[in-house]
Structure 1
Amino acid sequence: MKKNILFLLSFSVFLTSCSNSEVEQLKKENAALAAQVQALKTGGTAKPPKYILKIRLKQAHFSLSIKKHIKDAVNAIDFEIPVDKEFYDSVSKGTEIIDKFRFGSFVLSGSFGDWEMTVKDKEIRQQ
């Protein structure tokens, strides 16, 4: 009982020092772990949670043409990928994963641009 009270006290102190996004992330992880513990207590085998990254991939041109910028924004795609926990913990919302210059387009058509892949959101899902 003393351990539980001490844990709750230290956890509440920790939460007060975190930002809202960190608190929400910790709540999601806590819920995932609680579900695993509950499944183990009931004799079931708990499946590990899935760590999902929501990614935005788009092209960006170095141009003054508003038409090209609108086209790039409209053609951006969002998708989800499962990742391992270590990678999930190493990135945050807005982290740029890839920012690569499109050399082939530059050589063949003189187009200055690059690919941008950023983390749009993070989510933990129970199976």
Structure 2
Amino acid sequence: MNVQSSSAFTGSGGDAQVAFHRTELSVILSLYGRMVAAGEWRDYGISSLRDVAIFSVFRRTAETPLYQIEKRPKLRGRQGQYAVIGMDGRILKRGADLRTVLRVLERKLIRAVE
């Protein structure tokens, strides 16, 4: 039985790559839009690799990412497939529910608006 996950797609090389699903991107882009409106974030990039999908957030285009939102389906049964990683490489939050993991960034939005 050959079943392909909805979080992976086959590229031209035939290797399955991890990607964010439309519903996941909707949640991430909702937060991104609010942070842009608050003047905190200005650019983003999306990478779909073999084992991980990464949504990188930048303050300026030429900088290193402020945060990276990762999806690693292989960690689904252990620590959770979603993680928010800071600029210094530390994992700020990891879990199975994307909205719960992104709350660590929403706290920063509340501080930015005050």
TM-score of the superposed pair, with normalisation by structure 2: 0.27
More helix by share: 1
Q: With a CA cutoff of 8 Å and minimum separation of 6, indicate the structure with the bigger relative contact order.
A: 1
